[in-house]
Amino acid sequence: RVEWAFTFSDNPAGFWKMGCSLQLAAPSPFMLLRRAMSTAMRPIYGRIQAKLTEGLQPMTLVIKDESFKHAGHSGNPSGDPDAETHFKVEVVSAHFEGKMPVARHRMVYALLDTEIKDGLHALSLKTKTPAEADK
């Protein structure tokens, strides 16, 4: 959560002075608990992880559920921060060797076809080969 504070004050010269500060609030206990939930409580996250691990044998797999950033937007109109509708995935796999980015993305989409049909609304992908990841 971001909080902005604006202050206005009069200085001795008679000019108005404006100050602005930005404070990043600490995550609530609810958000900390949500982040620590097991994949059993996050079925789509768990299915994404299992299918990409099985299908791509990745060297690196990072999955971030960003649904809370899209609460109330298209794809998550209920506003539920746990809707599991928006994910960012970074995967490094030798299975991507010799393939253009579009072909790599199609591989991921094919593996996650059921999840997309079940309501996965947005999937941001970074797909790399091991050689590209080392650069």
CA 25 to chain CA mean position, Å: 20
* 67 C-beta neighbours (distance < 10 Å), count: 23
Please state the rounded mean pLDDT for residues 24-49.
63
Return the percentage of the chain with pLDDT > 90, whole number.
41
Do 87 and 124 contact (CB within 8 A), yes or no? Answer: yes
**In this predicted structure, what is the pLDDT of residue 118?**
81
**In this predicted structure, what is the pLDDT of residue 50?**
94
**In this predicted structure, what is the pLDDT of residue 23?**
45
Q: First CA to last CA across the chain, in angstroms?
A: 35
Of 39, 38, 44, give the one whose Cα is nearest residue 114. 44
Tell me: the pLDDT tens digits for 78-111? 656 566 777 899 999 999 999 999 999 999 999 9
